[in-house]
Structure 1
């Protein structure tokens, strides 16, 4: 595979892109699953200068993230369509960014005029990076970052009267087909918690980055979870990965990211 052609790939990238650096970010679990050796920390730098932070701008918002954050490329660029929509919907709303990573949805909600924004993730490192990004954009006082389990956050939100908009973007709950049944239970529980944390008439964005979970399956999990919470969910919009993550027509499994934006109402 590509691992055997790593030197050729690097040479091609240098010739075409003229990058400042090339870093191998293959997760150990992925390396094990594909049957090749894990890349040692001191061997990840494949080209160029040493990089300690990932600095970039998306839609006018500035991000500066430590390279040690391990999720994908270090940032979920594929969720740009959802972030754009949440910003447009946020004015005057209380917004919960659940499983927020570095709080990119929260930043967009704050810029969109949300009255209150809370960003929750169980990773202390991600939350600290999110705080730095908020400060970088002059939003340090506009977003409340919390290190917490998402279900605990949902329970607290319900006690506090609920949010107008809840985004739930959990880690991959069904990494492979053999995990699908268990993963569907996880999405159902996520949906139930998110619906309980949302005011009547509010919005829930339920996300899945599991290729093994179809959009229809995610919608079933949402319907069941909403019912568990004593509510019903009306799907208003669907989002997928951005156009910079194209899907080969011959490989429909490449459509891995699904987002259901729904209005939540009492049964």
Structure 2
């Protein structure tokens, strides 16, 4: 039978509340890759049950702190709780989107399930979630108030390499061709490329922040509503601004594939006449535009993660600082900057310090109006700081 024993340090870590146990904190591990195993302290005291990884530095991901082995009813309750929360948030509308299952923060380690209308996209990030994938999909389908038309496994993220798992993209049930059209509760419409798009096809964590940012485009008296959306991907920050009255929206991204997607989404929302796209390296292009004294009422910068781990923090800080200096140079006096970081290794206090340093270097005064995180269907577990990864700052710049 599988069995895991921690060191004294490992026991203290578990009793402190964190759901991960690192390989260095194991005294003994008798378990197969991805197996659910009982966990004991160095004095044989039961600490709970967790999913074992034979490859990752995160050797055990706890699912329960009870001595009893989790059974089907246990897993079903976790899935029911997660989906009931989305229902309570009003996120189960037929044509809408949401994150149904948010992995470790909901005691379902490594497993993400995103919903795009009646299609589910599953992403497995550890050996344990790979082993439980089909079983957990069965439970999700049992609990959902509708039958999914198709289920896609998009387990192709780089984190799988840390678990010695190969990337995997396959249709588990059904299949759809081409793009899928979805609609948010505020009537924002867009198309998603589930197979080839980023992450599970889209950045669902920024949904609420995009809606808020759009309202800042025309908030200044006499504003023309000029907006710059950098690292735009599908252009939804800019499109939300146009839907709320912005007259001129420029979307920047270095990927040529984004242009068709941005312009198509603009057409779906009736704002094609106010949206333009430019293929450019945003870091370089912002510097050029600042040197030409361009100004915008709203600037949005939503870059990819600059720090994947703590070793990259120093370089990431320099990158975020320089990016935001360039962005602040482009903001009209009294205008607004919406700037984000999805690097967990850059904490909220650090990010706020970086923005203060950027304002100093840009010789601008910046006022923090709001510091937001991910949408509510990406829950933050207080026991798992790593789940609090997204920072989205709303600034007034003078």
Unaligned runs of 5+ in 2: 1-127, 219-223
Q: What is the alpha-carbon distance in structure 2 between the residues aligned to residue 257 and residue 28 of structure 1?
A: 18
Which residue matches 1:21?
150
CA contact (8 A) 2:231 2:302 kept: yes
Equivalent residues, number = 262
From 194, 203, 215, the counterpart of 2:327: 194
Task: Pick 1 or 2: higher relative contact order, CA cutoff 8 A, min separation 6.
Answer: 1
Contact 1:21 1:51 in 2 (8 A): no
Q: Corresponding residue for 1:127?
A: 259
Shift in Å, 1:122: 1.0
User: Which of the numbers 254, 257, 263 marks the counterpart of 2:390?
Assistant: 257
Q: Which residue of the partner structure matches residue 342 of structure 2?
A: 209
TM-score (norm 1): 0.92
Partner of 1:74: 201
- Whether 1:50 aligns to 2:176 is yes
Which one has the largest radius of gyration?
2
Shift of 1:97: 0.8
Asked if structure 2 preserves the Cα contact closer than 8 Å seen for 1:13 and 1:19, the reply is no
- Report the Cα offset of residue 64 of structure 1: 1.3
Deviates further, 244-253 or 164-173: 244-253
State the partner residue of 1:33: 162
Q: Write the mapping of 1:177-192 to structure 2, written as runs, cut at 5 A.
A: 177-192=310-325
SS of equivalent residue, structure 1 residue 199: strand
Q: Rate the CA distance shift 1:29–1:204 in 2: closer, same or farther, 3 A.
A: same
Superposition CA RMSD, Å: 1.6
Matching residue within 225, 248, 255 for 2:358 = 225
Normalising to structure 2: TM-score of the pair?
Answer: 0.63
Q: Does structure 2 conserve the Cα–Cα contact (< 8 Å) formed by 1:25 and 1:70? A: no
More displaced, 142-151 or 44-53?
44-53
1:141 is aligned to: 273
